[in-house]
């Protein structure tokens, strides 16, 4: 075992007593669920279902959404199995609790400490473990592999910075990535990087986000919003981070000089920043209302969408979307979601999280990179033209449709490694950890 990994395992075994204190501090700041926090210490809230259990792990909201089509397809193909989905954030838990189908259950992933992981694996003892994207918890990977649970890494993605960090700990990387029987990478760069890090069977399969179902929206709420903005030109700044709101607001002030009835829907990535974003709107001297206070009024220039779980409404309402997280080192957010709902995509220069799809979209004039508020003003006004926007939308939809094989490839990889249930008897999970 590499010295660095041995040291990490020793440290996380000795740090068990700190786990509860850490969770208590996170609860105090709203980062843990007030009722379900014991799950983070490995205490399950539900019984393990009989028979085969597939465990899928996703880090947060975006990864969780990308797993939903796989979960649904898996349960349709194999009626004899159940699915456990884990994630680490409160918002992802809320989303999954609403959208997981029957025979699927959500739990918070345990802290990467000996005690919580032992309790988690002893309770659930899954027959197959499926990890997604790039969140690798060393002890959880190590202990799962030690229990002889087959492990897959799907929808894998490594940014250049992560690859450099793993390369500096090459022995530990080889020990961890070598635990996965199969790795399906989103792009060739990730596949090459993972091979160098010691992953075994690596294939480029595309992104599961391409296969995700369109974000849902409450029909009555959508009708009310459509009536409230009827006749107005609406555009959206979606999942914005600090600094991006100022760019969008400056552009919107210029847009309104040409189109006085224009309405900007401004959706910060973290609604808790609502007051901060409201202050930025006030500095730009634009009138604003807030979603938490009701529907957009006729006198509003900006509607601050300070709620969770309503992106399906905003993408349906706005034919043009500036996708945030793309100006400030975040790496960009998901372009598939607006495209699936007919909203054309503008984005900043930092799109490393979705580099391949943005490259294809930009190359086909199916999305537009933005570098300044002047760029943004110009493109929003250009795409206010229905003909220009419709042509761009068709190009984007054609490109996204090319990646539909990713779901089937992932599904086949999972199904191929699931044991059969013979003679109606359940296959038991691995023995308890010592």
Catalytic residues: 63
Looking at residue 23, what DSSP letter applies? H
Alpha-carbon span 267 to 330, nearest angstrom: 16
Q: Is 72 exposed, middle or buried (0-12, 13-18, 19+ CB in 10 A)?
A: middle
Q: What share of the chain is helix, strand, coil (3-state, %, to 5)?
A: 50, 15, 35
**Residues contacting 309, CB < 8 A, separation 6+:** 94, 95, 98
Q: Which of 428, 423, 412 is nearest to 127 (CA)?
A: 428
Residues in the chain: 434
Half-sphere exposure of 168 (CA within 13 A, CB side): 5
Q: Please, what is the angle between helix 386-401 and helix 373-383, to 10°?
A: 100
Q: Which of 225, 265, 228 is nearest to 248 (CA)?
A: 265
Cβ–Cβ < 8 Å for 289, 296: yes
Cβ–Cβ < 8 Å for 244, 266: no
- Which 3 state secondary structure label does DSSP give 95? helix
Structure tokens at 367: 């999305």
Alpha-carbon span 74 to 101, nearest angstrom: 11
101-104: long-range pairs with CB below 8 Å, 24+: 101/71, 101/72, 101/75, 102/75, 103/49, 103/75, 104/71, 104/75
């Amino acid at each position: 075992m590499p010295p660095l990994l041995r040291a990490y395992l020793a440290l996380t075994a000795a740090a068990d007593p700190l786990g509860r204190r850490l969770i208590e501090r996170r609860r105090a700041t709203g980062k843990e669920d007030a009722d379900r926090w014991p799950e983070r210490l490995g205490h399950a809230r539900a019984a393990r279902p009989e028979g085969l259990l597939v465990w899928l792990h996703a880090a947060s909201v975006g990864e969780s959404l990308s797993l939903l089509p796989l979960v649904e397809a898996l349960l349709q193909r194999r009626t004899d199995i159940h699915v456990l989905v884990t994630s680490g954030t409160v918002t992802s838990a809320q989303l999954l609790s609403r959208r997981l189908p029957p025979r699927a259950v959500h739990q918070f992933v345990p802290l990467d400490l000996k005690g919580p992981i032992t309790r988690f694996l002893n309770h659930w003892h899954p027959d197959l473990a499926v990890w997604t994207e790039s969140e690798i918890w060393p002890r959880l990977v190590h202990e799962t592999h030690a229990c002889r649970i087959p492990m897959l890494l799907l929808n894998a993605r490594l940014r250049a910075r992560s690859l450099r960090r793993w390369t500096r700990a090459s022995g530990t990387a080889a020990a961890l990535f070598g635990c996965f029987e199969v790795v399906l990478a989103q792009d060739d760069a990730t596949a090459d990087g993972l091979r160098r890090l010691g992953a075994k069977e690596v294939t480029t399969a595309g992104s599961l986000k391409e296969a995700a179902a369109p974000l849902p929206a409450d029909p009555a709420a959508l009708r009310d919003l459509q009536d409230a903005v009827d006749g107005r030109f609406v555009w959206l700044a979606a999942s914005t981070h600090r600094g991006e709101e100022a760019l969008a607001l400056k552009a919107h002030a210029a847009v309104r000089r040409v189109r006085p009835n224009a309405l900007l829907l401004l959706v910060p990535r973290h609604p808790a920043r609502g007051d901060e974003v409201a202050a930025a709107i006030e500095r730009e001297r634009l009138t604003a209302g807030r979603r938490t206070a009701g529907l957009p009024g006729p006198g509003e220039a900006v509607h601050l969408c300070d709620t969770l779980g309503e992106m399906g409404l905003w993408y349906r309402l706005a034919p043009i979307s500036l996708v945030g997280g793309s100006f400030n080192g975040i790496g960009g957010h998901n372009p598939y979601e607006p495209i699936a709902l007919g909203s054309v995509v503008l984005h900043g220069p930092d799109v490393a999280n979705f580099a391949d799809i943005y490259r294809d979209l930009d190359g086909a004039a199916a999305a537009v990179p933005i570098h300044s508020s002047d760029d943004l003003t110009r493109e929003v006004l250009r795409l206010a033209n229905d003909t220009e926007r419709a042509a761009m939308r068709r190009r984007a939809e054609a490109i996204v449709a090319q990646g539909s094989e990713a779901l089937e490839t992932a599904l086949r990889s999972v199904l191929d490694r699931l044991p059969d249930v013979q003679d109606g008897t359940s296959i038991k999970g691995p023995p308890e950890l010592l």
